[in-house]
Structure 1
Amino acid sequence: MAGVRNEAFEAWLRSHQMSVGELTSLVNTAIGELTGRDGTVNDRHIFKLLSGEHRSPNALLRTALEKVTDRTSGELGFVPRGTKKSSPPPGPEDDPLYRRALLTAATAAGVSVTVPAVGGPRRQRLTSNDVEALKAELAAWTSVESMYGGTPELEKRAAEITDKVITLQQGHTASARIRSELYTVAAAFSNSAMWAAIDGRRTSAEYHLDRTIRLAGLSGDHATEFRVWGHASTLFRQLSRPTDALAAAERSHASPITRRDPLFASLAMSRLAVNHAVLADGRSAMRYLDLAQKALDRADPNKHRPAWVGFYDQAELDHLAMLTRMQLRHWPDAERHAHRSLAYLQPGLQRNGALVRANLAVTQLSQRDLEQAVDTARGITEGMMKHARVRGLLNSFTEQVAALAPRSPEARDWQAQYRTVIA
């Protein structure tokens, strides 16, 4: 059935002088990066989006299109499923940290598995289609979190899907392979809820950790267990339990996946470096940083991996090296790693960039470069200043500014600006 032609999507193609075939190829590549499996989109899918016959691509296709075009779904003329075609396309939220339009597109795009009502007809057997639908939604969730951080909405959504998968497991039959894959997906969503809580510094993270560890154990998936213990290490460090944090990081490093893939080994060792630095073991910290860099240099960048590990690259290694150096009070080296991290940072990772800049400001202030430190802090967008982890760093930074130069114009101007933003 013909629809109203999507002029916004067509205008993007025209302005970039890109054919439908070229866009299809880029979209399939993006899907491969998100899911670890090649995309199956064909030219006909794109033509239907252009003609307006389809105005609501599913979550995975929508996320891939946003990744390729660097536009939101609303800017491309798409609407969430369930919206009437005569309705205007939704616009982005003013606050990028809570872009509910993008979140709605990811969670309401028709890929959710529906749980039958109690007493209703039972589906006899779960299949790979159920697993793929959940993986598509997980890819969309990961894409949003990577850009904007762990909002309460994202935590709630991940926890809800975890409940849904557990319910499916109890009420349906499945082969051993499908059941294992569903436990893996459930653990991934539960871990995502935990990470969102960690990122937002919310106390619910500990609840999610207990459930995630159980689900990861049932899955038997090494990558999932690696991820869970890595995030547990971050949580324990946040809770001022450095010995537990190191033990969790060592558990992650012991995963068989670190022996098969140097990228996972590099991530594990860079986290070990941070934890040893927290415990003032500078020698071990420096050794693990060196090993982490060597492992990353050996890693195949084209190897298919789970979508969630896509954040780890040279920028993230330098980010963790910066944190390690800061713990050891090696301020010039920490500043050097911060600049390197920003130089390599993937476009769109606003939360990560804000964290690096906040820490960079601290390293500059620790070297008594007040003017440069304040300029660096001002480079963080107001939306990201409100992010829980960024705000925690900037609160400490503001206290240090006041202690170092309470009467300086830079200190007064920064304090006034920051109070206005977080008020």
Structure 2
Amino acid sequence: MTSSTVTSSQSPRPPRPNLAFRQLRGQRSPAEFAAAVRRAAHEIGERVSCDARYIGRVEAGEIRCPNYAYERVFLHMFPGRTLTDLGFAPRSAVRGRASRAPHEEREAYDPYHSTDAPDPHDLHDLHDLHDLHDPYHPHHPYHPHEDHENHEESDVLRRAFMTRGGATVAAASLGPLGPAFDASAADRPARRAGTSDAGAVEEAVRRIRLLDDRHGADGLYRRAAAPLRAAYALLDAGATRQTTAERLHSGAGELAISVGWLAHDSGRFDDARSHYAEALATARMTGDPALEAHAFCNTAFLARDAGRPREAVRAAQAAQRVGRGLGSARLMSLLALREAGGWAGLTDRAGCERALARAQALYERGASDADPEWMSFYGEAELAGLEAQCWSTLGDWPRAARHARRAAQLQDPHFTRNIALYTAELSDDLARGGRPDEAAAAGMRVLDLLDQVQSSRIQTMLAGTARVLLPHRQTRGVSVFLERHTSTPRPV
């Protein structure tokens, strides 16, 4: 991986905070505002994968002018306002030349010398990956209509895509790290990592999370291993500055957790445990309490799913001890839910109820700027869904079904995988609670989503529901569900 030839120091001016945009966010947290942006995009048929990080970059002034998709969404959200009213710079000023018609842009565009960097949040749909080598594909990172000012990321991504090839493009869809470390990397002398490398690691984490939210883990896990190996190779090479080293350690740890989650959700529990342990070791070595709390949080969840409830309780309690000083009530709420899941697995109803009550009280304190970026998935829907799982484990099927139904109804449409998960939970709770017709109907809704979502966890839940419904196969709705479930291809 050669050093960047275009660095942020060459930017014409330091970024100025976008105070107008920050004011429009109001009291909402960056994650909540990002969810509102995604909902607005859905209303007008746009596809953006906005998250808290993107909102932070806009407010910090790093994105002086949004790409065209985001422009349409923002103007839809705030009718009557212009981009200038929203605190953005004119597009011609950002590009350094007057705006041109689309066909003129295309004729003048050189994909290997452009200094216009991509908006990474537009590279989020697995179905488009085979076309990403085409520089005029609307989701190619160097499509002429993609505008913002992160020149370091521009250079990293450009070099990634110049290597071409199907495997390269697939890896690059998860971030710029995979292609940067090809098969010959071990034969080259290592160079010390810089800020562009730290940014590339962080972008790989965001890309994985966004793809998982929509498509589930099964199709992503093996591809995600390459960026993770690259991240730890960067750590081994060392960094040019201490601040860069800290970013690399934090980013590599978060990437290990993200890859661990893909292993977890696709049923590879041993792999997941190894990745979480790696993240925990990284956190301990660098004294990073936020990363440590996240690693313990996921370890607790894995222990519960792997049938080790006492370990789940202890890991969740360890996460709470570490996380207490981070100032995020929402984080502490999620960690209390992890503990509740462990108590449910131990059939300790009283312990579970105490943890659930604590989780609800902490959640009601509201969001804050201290909430970790990775918690953007945690809202009312996830709270209800995790509580449903607790009641299901305790065998209280009516209460579990009530919470699972609420979770599916509340979930942001962006989180397709979670909608499928909550609906699968609902189907199972209804089946075990003696309501086979309703269970079959919910199961059919899950099957409708399986062309978009690949999750062994959801497939396993649905298979269990099908076994519970077998005695009712003479019922019309149940028989249709069972036939379709049997004919649905299983992930390989």
TM-score, normalized by length of structure 2? Answer: 0.67
Q: Which residue of 2 aligns with 1:401?
A: 469
- Is 1:325 matched up with 2:348? no
Q: Is the 8 A contact 1:213 1:228 kept in 2?
A: yes
Structure 1: which amino acid aligns with 2:428? V
Residues in 1 aligned to 2:283 and 2:59: alpha-carbon distance in whole angstroms: 19
Percent identity of equivalent pairs:
19
Among 64, 73, 87, the alignment partner of 2:121 is 64
Q: Is the 8 A contact 1:249 1:271 kept in 2?
A: yes
Report the secondary structure of 2:317's partner residue. Answer: helix
**Deviation per CA, 1:89-148, whole angstroms, max 9, x where unpaired?**
89xxxxxxxxx999656336689755894564653x433332122212221221111211
Residues in 1 aligned to 2:100 and 2:53: alpha-carbon distance in whole angstroms: 19
Structure 1: which amino acid aligns with 2:418? N
**Deviation per CA, 1:343-379, whole angstroms, max 9, x where unpaired?**
2211221111111111101222233221111111101
Residues in 2 aligned to 1:208 and 1:49: alpha-carbon distance in whole angstroms: 48
Residues in 2 aligned to 1:61 and 1:257: alpha-carbon distance in whole angstroms: 37
**Deviation per CA, 1:377-411, whole angstroms, max 9, x where unpaired?**
101123268631111111111111113x2433333
Among 291, 314, 319, the alignment partner of 1:224 is 291
Report the secondary structure of 1:254's partner residue. Answer: helix
Residues in 2 aligned to 1:58 and 1:110: alpha-carbon distance in whole angstroms: 20
Q: Is the 8 A contact 2:343 2:352 kept in 1?
A: yes
Q: Which residue of 2 aligns with 1:188?
A: 254
Structure 2: which amino acid aligns with 1:274? G
Structure 1: which amino acid aligns with 2:400? A
Moved more, 37-46 or 338-347: 37-46
Q: Which residue of 2 aligns with 1:276?
A: 343
Q: Which residue of 1 aligns with 2:196?
A: 129
Report the secondary structure of 2:412's partner residue. Answer: coil
- Is 1:388 matched up with 2:411? no
Q: Is the 8 A contact 2:304 2:312 kept in 1?
A: yes
Q: Is the 8 A contact 2:221 2:259 kept in 1?
A: yes
Q: Which residue of 2 aligns with 1:167?
A: 233
Residues in 2 aligned to 1:32 and 1:179: alpha-carbon distance in whole angstroms: 25
Report the secondary structure of 2:358's partner residue. Answer: helix
- Is 1:31 matched up with 2:97? no
Among 218, 243, 246, the alignment partner of 1:151 is 218
TM-score, normalized by length of structure 1? Answer: 0.77
Q: Which residue of 1 aligns with 2:304?
A: 237
Q: Is the 8 A contact 1:190 1:212 kept in 2?
A: yes
Residues in 1 aligned to 2:376 and 2:58: alpha-carbon distance in whole angstroms: 10
- The alpha-carbon distance between structure 1 residues 201 and 142, as it changes in their structure 2 partners (threshold 3 A), is same
Report the secondary structure of 2:367's partner residue. Answer: coil
Q: Is the 8 A contact 1:258 1:264 kept in 2?
A: no
Q: Is the 8 A contact 1:159 1:189 kept in 2?
A: no
Residues in 2 aligned to 1:304 and 1:253: alpha-carbon distance in whole angstroms: 15
Shift of 1:240: 1.5
Shift of 1:207: 2.9
Among 426, 429, 434, the alignment partner of 1:363 is 429
Structure 2: which amino acid aligns with 1:262? A
- Is 1:40 matched up with 2:63? yes
**Deviation per CA, 1:276-306, whole angstroms, max 9, x where unpaired?**
11111111211211221121111225x2644
The total of aligned residue pairs comes to 385
Q: Is the 8 A contact 1:365 1:373 kept in 2?
A: yes
Shift of 1:58: 11
Residues in 1 aligned to 2:303 and 2:257: alpha-carbon distance in whole angstroms: 15
Structure 2: which amino acid aligns with 1:272? E
Report the secondary structure of 1:379's partner residue. Answer: helix
Residues in 1 aligned to 2:101 and 2:249: alpha-carbon distance in whole angstroms: 34
Residues in 2 aligned to 1:49 and 1:72: alpha-carbon distance in whole angstroms: 29
Q: Is the 8 A contact 1:30 1:64 kept in 2?
A: no
- The alpha-carbon distance between structure 1 residues 283 and 29, as it changes in their structure 2 partners (threshold 3 A), is closer
Residues in 1 aligned to 2:122 and 2:482: alpha-carbon distance in whole angstroms: 41
Q: Is the 8 A contact 1:236 1:244 kept in 2?
A: yes
Structure 1: which amino acid aligns with 2:316? A
Q: Give RMSD over aligned pairs.
A: 4.0
Residues in 1 aligned to 2:101 and 2:188: alpha-carbon distance in whole angstroms: 36
User: Where does the alignment leave 5 or more consecutive residues of structure 2 unmatched?
Assistant: 1-40, 66-90, 141-166
Among 106, 110, 133, the alignment partner of 2:173 is 106
**Deviation per CA, 1:304-355, whole angstroms, max 9, x where unpaired?**
6443211111110111111111112222222221122122211221111111
- The alpha-carbon distance between structure 1 residues 104 and 122, as it changes in their structure 2 partners (threshold 3 A), is closer
Q: Which residue of 2 aligns with 1:341?
A: 407
Residues in 2 aligned to 1:73 and 1:422: alpha-carbon distance in whole angstroms: 18
Structure 1: which amino acid aligns with 2:357? D
- Is 1:206 matched up with 2:276? no
Residues in 2 aligned to 1:58 and 1:191: alpha-carbon distance in whole angstroms: 33
- The alpha-carbon distance between structure 1 residues 30 and 277, as it changes in their structure 2 partners (threshold 3 A), is same
Residues in 2 aligned to 1:158 and 1:400: alpha-carbon distance in whole angstroms: 35
Residues in 2 aligned to 1:58 and 1:378: alpha-carbon distance in whole angstroms: 48
- Is 1:177 matched up with 2:200? no
- The alpha-carbon distance between structure 1 residues 72 and 186, as it changes in their structure 2 partners (threshold 3 A), is closer
Residues in 2 aligned to 1:374 and 1:27: alpha-carbon distance in whole angstroms: 34
Residues in 2 aligned to 1:59 and 1:322: alpha-carbon distance in whole angstroms: 47
Q: Which residue of 1 aligns with 2:206?
A: 139
- Is 1:410 matched up with 2:477? yes
Residues in 1 aligned to 2:101 and 2:351: alpha-carbon distance in whole angstroms: 54
Structure 2: which amino acid aligns with 1:32? I
Report the secondary structure of 2:260's partner residue. Answer: helix
Q: Is the 8 A contact 1:59 1:107 kept in 2?
A: no
Shift of 1:63: 4.0
Among 372, 377, 383, the alignment partner of 1:311 is 377
